[in-house]
Amino acid sequence: MKPDGNIPAPAVRRLSLYLRQLELLWADDRQKVSSKELGAALRLTDSQIRKDLAYFGQFGQAGVGYDITELTTNIRRILGTDRTWNVLLVGAGNLGSALSAYRGFAKRGFRLVAVFDSDKKKVGKPLLSNPELVVQHIDMLEDEVKRREIHLAINAVPAEAAQQIAHRLVKAGVKGLFNFAPVNLDIDADVAVASVDLAVQLEQLSFQVSMNQSIADAEKTRKKRRKK
């Protein structure tokens, strides 16, 4: 990887898309792929793909394309998913339960190893959504982070508890936090935070649909006027 560290976040995000597409091609017994083909499948230009990959090193050969196994291995190494990460979850509620049921995380190198909650009715019981996991009391958090060397955590507690939980996770040694609570967390700069807010994504979607509708309406009006 190039040492400067000034890699744009969108380029890193697209690496995950490239990886997914490469895995599909690999499952299809393919050995080589061109940036043009990769781009066509992902609705990106081939130059975008070449530019993104160039941030991380020299891959592929002009006129031959990329070796699928080699590029897959390299992208996994860059993303840090060439190893398995132990992940913990705080909040065994609706969202936490749904996330714990998803088997796709393990396939991508993320093993959910511990779940915590403060609700005494949930503590000590296996999750209905994933009976392999028994809910632990939140007081066990710090010990468990150390014992199992957990560096990644998912925060799925209500907004009012999210900052306090984030603070405890970081103090315990967690280095990457996936936050679902609708709050801006105040976190040390050396801790990586990823946030997802589906309501924000839906707002973006509704904006795009409204814009497309306005453009279509304006076009219809223009056509009608021309006919008259």
Q: What pairing do the DSSP bridges indicate for beta strands 152-155 and 66-67?
A: unpaired
- By CB under 6 A, residue 91 contacts ligand NAI: yes
Smallest gap from Cβ 149 to ligand NAI, in A, equals 21
Alpha carbons 96 and 179: distance in angstroms, whole number: 11
Q: Does 159 bind ligand NAI (CB under 6 A)?
A: yes
Q: Which of 15, 22, 89, 90 binds ligand NAI (CB under 6 A)?
A: 90
Separation CA 65–CA 67 (nearest Å) = 7
139: contact with ligand NAI by CB under 6 A? no
Q: Which of 82, 197, 217, 219 binds ligand NAI (CB under 6 A)?
A: 197
Choice between 19 and 114, CB closer to ligand NAI: 114
Compute the least distance from the CB of residue 64 to ligand NAI, in Å: 42
The residue count of the chain comes to 228
SS3 90: strand
Query: Which of these, 87, 91, 21, lies nearest to 49 by C-alpha position?
Result: 21
Name the nearest CA neighbour of 133 among 121, 124, 144, 146.
124
By CB under 6 A, tell whether 181 contacts ligand NAI.
yes
8 interacts with ligand NAI by CB under 6 A:
no
- The candidate with the shortest Cα–Cα distance to 195, out of 183, 186, 205, is 183
First to last CA, the chain: 62
Selected binder of ligand NAI within 78, 87, 156, 174 (CB under 6 A): 156
Nearer to ligand NAI, 98 or 218 (CB): 98
Binding test (CB under 6 A) with ligand NAI, winner from 53, 92, 114, 177: 92
Q: What distances in angstroms separate CA 30 from CA 66, 67, 98, 227, one per listed residue? A: 11, 9, 34, 53
Q: CB under 6 A: which stretch of 59-67, 102-110, 179-187, 203-211 binds ligand NAI?
A: 179-187
| Residues found near ligand NAI in the complex (CB under 6 A) | 90-96, 116-119, 122, 138, 156-159, 161, 165, 180-182, 196-198
